[in-house]
């Protein structure tokens, strides 16, 4: 699997190595960035949900594979069933939300999205990229999602 430039795999354990990844200081500047396929939120212009999730996981040291550029191509081409299959094969389900869990989001006609669970104060929420509202944080208790982690 190739990786997207600047985004690597983490070979840490399941423990979070850098609590800064859980801090809103990492992701709060991304709130409101518009969606764009392949965009890196660190550039401050736009955001792709896959790149955003990998940025958070990379900063945390949580075990995850490198971001395969073909996933970005599949998303841009709207090949949702294949992308969903790859996601399911690479993750294992969790009972519920936990910090740095990942989730696949069905967006109806807008296709699929992915999110990552991050705390904001005492609340857990999912950092997502909405196709119209851009990057947003939604409290977990408002969402009905299946949470997982990478194998």
So where are the chain's domains? 19-150
Enter the DSSP assignment of 33.
P
CA distances from 36 to 27, 33, 41, 78, 129 (A): 17, 9, 10, 13, 9
> Which pLDDT value is given to residue 42?
95
Give the residue among 45, 43, 41 at the shortest CA–CA distance from 54. 41
CA distances from 98 to 47, 49, 66, 118, 125 (A): 23, 19, 21, 8, 9
Give the residue among 18, 17, 7, 78 at the shortest CA–CA distance from 43. 7
pLDDT digit string (tens) for 87-110?
999 999 999 999 999 999 988 777
Q: What's the whole-number mean pLDDT along residues 15-38? A: 79
Q: What mean pLDDT, rounded, does the chain reach?
A: 85
- pTM here? 0.85
> Which pLDDT value is given to residue 4?
47
Q: How many CA atoms lie within 13 A of 10 on its CB side?
A: 21
d(CA 82, CA 30): 28
Task: State both tokens at 36.
Answer: 């764009």
> Which pLDDT value is given to residue 53?
96
């Amino acid at each position: 699997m190739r990786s997207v430039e600047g985004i690597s795999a983490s070979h840490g354990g399941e423990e979070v190595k850098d609590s800064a990844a859980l801090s809103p200081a990492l992701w709060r500047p991304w709130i409101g960035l518009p969606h764009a396929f392949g965009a890196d939120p660190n550039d401050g212009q736009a955001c792709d949900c896959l790149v955003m999730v990998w940025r958070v996981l990379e900063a945390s040291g949580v075990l995850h594979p490198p971001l395969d550029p073909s996933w970005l191509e599949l998303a841009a081409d709207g090949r949702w069933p294949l992308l969903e299959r790859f996601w399911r094969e690479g993750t294992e389900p969790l009972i519920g939300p936990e910090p740095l869990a990942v989730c696949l989001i069905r967006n109806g006609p807008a296709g699929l999205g992915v999110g990552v669970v991050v705390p904001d104060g005492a609340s857990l929420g999912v950092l997502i990229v909405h196709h119209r509202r851009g990057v947003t944080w939604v409290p977990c208790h408002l969402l009905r999602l299946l949470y997982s982690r990478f194998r």
